[in-house]
């Protein structure tokens, strides 16, 4: 009964954090005949997954510290959820999780790192373009924002807006070809 309750506790967000305690001792009290440290690790891993899925990252961090040996993949997943995308990408990459690493490099804005992992030609082209845009922005003259005319600002916005999903105007995405802009007015 107690052993089943321990297993159930690992799957419930409100009780999962309790498994940072002496799970091995609880298993011994229930006369668990198997490998108690291995079972405790399994239960803590389940508890971590439960906590992470419920957004309880502080409790998940504590649970991760209780999992021995340290589970690097779970650590990567936690870092991703915490928004630490560079660290998550490095951890995922060390674990051989290329797509997870790629997603996190992109989230971090580290397009050169993402490009190193990308195997899709379309994604490679996207990443090269993002890199180029970033490089162009880094080369802009100091103080230019204060010197642009309203028309220049509007044109720059019109050039970039078709690439952004958040622009809210689906017409802008109708012709997504280089050099085409729905904001061009005929002469």
Dist CA 170 CA 179 (whole Å): 18
Quick check: is 52 in a domain? Answer: yes
Contact present, 63 and 54 (Cβ < 8 Å): no
- Note whether residue 2 is domain-resident: yes
Q: Pick from 82, 119, 81, 80: which is nearest to 98 by CA?
A: 119
Report the distance separating Cα 77 and Cα 96, nearest Å.
Answer: 13
Please report, for residues 46, 135, 160, the alpha-carbon distance to residue 5 in angstroms, rounded to integers and kept in the order given: 14, 56, 56
Mean predicted confidence (pLDDT) in 76-91: 98
Q: Which of 7-21, 147-161, 167-181 has the highest mean pLDDT?
A: 7-21
Q: Is the pLDDT of residue 178 over 60?
A: no
Give the total number of structural domains in the chain: 1
Q: For residue 163, name the pLDDT band (cuts at 50, 70, 90).
A: confident
Range of weakest confidence among 40-49, 152-161, 172-181:
172-181
Largest Cα span, the chain: 86
Q: Is the pLDDT of residue 172 over 80?
A: no
| Residue 6 falls inside a structural domain | yes
Smallest CA-to-CA distance from 50 within 76, 12, 20 is with 12
Q: Is residue 109 part of a domain?
A: no
Residue 113 domain-assigned (yes or no) = no
**CB-based contacts of 177: which residues, under 8 Å, 6+ apart?**
none
Range of the domain at 55: 1-70
Does residue 10 sit within a domain?
yes
Dist. CA 45–CA 38, nearest whole Å: 11
Q: Could you tell me the pLDDT band of residue 2, with boundaries at 50, 70 and 90?
A: confident
- If phi > 0 it is left, if psi is from -120 to 50 it is alpha, else beta; for residue 31 that is left
**Does 184 map to a domain?**
no
pTM, 2 dp: 0.80
Q: How many residues does the chain have?
A: 187
What DSSP state is assigned to residue 149? -
- Range from 58-62, 80-84, 172-176 carrying the lowest mean pLDDT: 172-176
């Amino acid at each position: 009964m107690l052993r089943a309750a321990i297993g159930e506790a690992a799957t419930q967000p409100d009780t999962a954090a309790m498994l940072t305690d002496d799970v091995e001792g609880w298993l011994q009290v229930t006369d668990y005949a198997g490998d108690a440290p291995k079972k405790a690790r399994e239960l803590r891993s389940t508890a971590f997954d439960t906590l992470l899925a419920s957004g309880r990252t502080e409790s998940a961090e504590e649970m991760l510290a209780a999992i021995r040996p340290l589970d690097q993949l779970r650590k990567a997943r936690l870092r991703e959820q915490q928004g630490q995308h560079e660290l998550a990408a490095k951890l995922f990459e060390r674990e051989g999780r290329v797509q997870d690493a790629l997603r996190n490099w992109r989230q971090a804005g580290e397009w050169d790192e993402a490009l190193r992992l990308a195997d899709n030609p379309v994604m490679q082209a996207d990443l090269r373009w993002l890199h180029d845009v970033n490089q162009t922005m880094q080369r802009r003259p100091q103080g230019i924002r204060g010197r642009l005319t309203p028309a220049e600002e509007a044109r720059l916005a019109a050039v970039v807006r078709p690439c952004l999903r958040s622009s809210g105007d689906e017409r802008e995405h109708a012709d997504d070809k280089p050099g085409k802009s729905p904001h061009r007015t005929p002469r």
